[in-house]
Amino acid sequence: MTSRFVAVPGGRLNTVDEGDATDPAILLLHAAVADLRAWDDVVPPLVRAGYRVVRYDARGFGASTTDDVDYSTRADALAVLDALRIDRAAFVGNSRGGQVAFDTAIESPERVVAVVGVGAGLGGFEGEPTPEELAVFEEGDALESADEVDVEALVDLETRVWLDGIGQPETRLPAAIRERFRAMDAAIYAPVRVTGRHISLEPSAGDRLADLRCPVLAIAGAFDVSDVAQTALHLEANAPDARALIMPGVAHMIGMEAPAELAALIVDFLAPLPRWS
């Protein structure tokens, strides 16, 4: 395993590179409630399967830093590949990371051989939440907009939504996984955290799905919020080469609660593709 910082305009990205440099590369993109550590248990089986696996902390997450600048998440992803001399990669993105993966595949199709969305978002597409989900989202908005943010309460809520799954018991997952998630999520609310200003893809990916021509596997957890499955099915129906998979017994952070199963799905999906570099 090699760790390094990759310089980007106005910031630097904490990057981890594992596996043989001659193997096809997979780029892992984390969710907005976590950092690159969310992939810790997914990486070893991917490396064993013969892939070079790269991941990084997005700006303002984990050990990555940024000035208060405008920036492109797509350009950051490609900067990591460029720094490691990787021409093309399969992108695997969780939640916000999935949105970055789809955006990059549309904007720079020559760099992305395939996309696996894991509880992924899609710019320009919004599903229909249930009344129960709406109530939880409103609770979260109220906590975030308070004059003095109650970080503990906010982390409790986000753990309930994104790790446990709305309506699922807190005992569904081992305590160690919940504590790992809570530690990553709490760091997001550090008072001195600087995130910069993301430059969105225009037009959005949701309006350009005909341009998403690489193979796509959109995985949604059965315990995740309903918008995620709706996004996966929308991709399957509207992108040229996309397949949706609703994975039973998991919520949003699939790589944390079912890493071996997720890695196997990724390997099976990528196996038929010609090897890339």
Specify whether 137 is located in the same domain as 118.
Answer: no
| CB-CB contact of 76 with 65 (8 Å) | no
**Residue 74 placed within a domain:** yes
Mean pLDDT of 205-229: 97
Among 53-67, 77-91, 117-131, 143-157, the least confident range = 143-157
- Show the domain range for 163: 131-187
**Residue 80 placed within a domain:** yes
**Residue 14 placed within a domain:** yes
**Residue 85 placed within a domain:** yes
What is the reported pLDDT for 192? 82
**Residue 275 placed within a domain:** no
Residue with tokens 């609310």: 189
What's the pLDDT tens digit per position in 9-60?
999 999 999 999 999 999 999 999 999 999 999 999 999 999 999 999 999 9
Residue 145: band (very low, low, confident or very high) from pLDDT cuts 50, 70, 90 = confident
Specify whether 95 is located in the same domain as 200.
Answer: yes
Residue 205, φ and ψ in degrees, nearest 5: -60, -35
Specify whether 257 is located in the same domain as 208.
Answer: yes
Residue 204 has pLDDT above 90, yes or no: yes
Specify whether 59 is located in the same domain as 18.
Answer: yes
Residues 6+ positions from 11 with CB-CB distance below 8 Å: 59, 64, 65, 66, 67, 69, 71, 196
Mean pLDDT of 181-196: 92
Average pLDDT, the chain: 96
Supply the CATH number for residue 86's domain: 3.40.50.1820
Q: Which helix (H) or strand (E) holds 173?
A: none
The number of distinct structural domains making up the chain is 2
Residue 146: band (very low, low, confident or very high) from pLDDT cuts 50, 70, 90 = confident
Among residues 187, 213, 229, the one where a domain terminates is 187
CA distance linking residue 55 with residue 14, whole number of Å: 9
Q: Provide the total of helices (H) and of strands (E) in the chain, helices listed first.
A: 9, 11
| CB-CB contact of 264 with 45 (8 Å) | yes
